[in-house]
Amino acid sequence: MADTLRTLLETGVVAIIRADVPTGLVEAGRALARGGVRAIEVTMTTPGALQAVEDLTAESGGGFIVGAGSVLDAETARACILAGAEFLVMPTTDVAAIELARRYGKVVCPGALTPTEVITAWQAGADIVKVFPASLGGPAYLKALKGPLPQVRLMPVGGVSPENAGDYIRAGACAVALGGALVNTSRIQAEDWAAIEHAARRTVQEVQAARS
């Protein structure tokens, strides 16, 4: 778990694969990795998601870590872990799912928005709290959350792009997670791996620049 968390924090970018098709997911993951992303999340709303987690895990060779997103309950969390997921990302705070992730030594990032929700998720055992949807308040809102909660690791999700990723890092985010701005069904169907790689590389560069 320590190595997974360290990778998430050092890289600072989680790429979310959310698509309407079950094909091309591994190829998209490869393109993200070529762009410098070292944490790839496959959402459970994507057809064939568990197989994609398994295939990407086998593909990674230690070059990147694979996680599962849109995890709503402990049953789904366990299935993801069995498929090889090293970290779990949730849109809400499900205590049973958090407990299961910690039982098996996996990094867990439950979702929250308000200060009360954020501290509840943190106290329940979150390694990182996913601020979702971050677009409601933007970087200014995340900065406001960090004021009274400096000890909580916050990762904005929803509305994050290569253009504003650095703003969130400067506002206090420990990492950013973004999906459609990197990977979407259109790019997968068009097999536009170059566009995915380019967007990934730009995001990683923006995060690094914001931290320096």
Active site residue 41: yes
- C-alpha dist (Å) from residue 109 to 14, 69, 155: 12, 9, 9
Catalytic residue among 41, 54, 86, 197: 41
Rg (CA), the chain: 16
CB distance 153 to 166 below 8 Å: no
- Residue 43 has phi, psi (to 5 degrees) of -80, 145
pLDDT at 137: 96
Domain boundaries, the chain: 2-211
Catalytic residue among 54, 106, 130, 146: 130
Entry pTM: 0.96
CATH of 2-211, one of 3.40.50.360, 3.30.360.10, 3.20.20.70, 3.40.50.261: 3.20.20.70
Peptide bond connecting 133 to the previous residue in cis, omega within 30 degrees of 0: yes
- How many Cβ atoms from other residues are within 10 Å of residue 21's Cβ? 12
Q: What is the pLDDT along the chain (212 residues), one digit of tens a residue?
A: 789 999 999 999 999 999 999 999 999 999 999 999 999 999 999 999 999 999 999 999 889 999 999 999 999 999 999 999 999 999 999 999 999 999 999 999 999 999 999 999 999 999 999 999 999 999 999 999 999 999 999 999 999 999 999 999 999 999 999 999 999 999 999 999 999 999 999 999 999 999 99
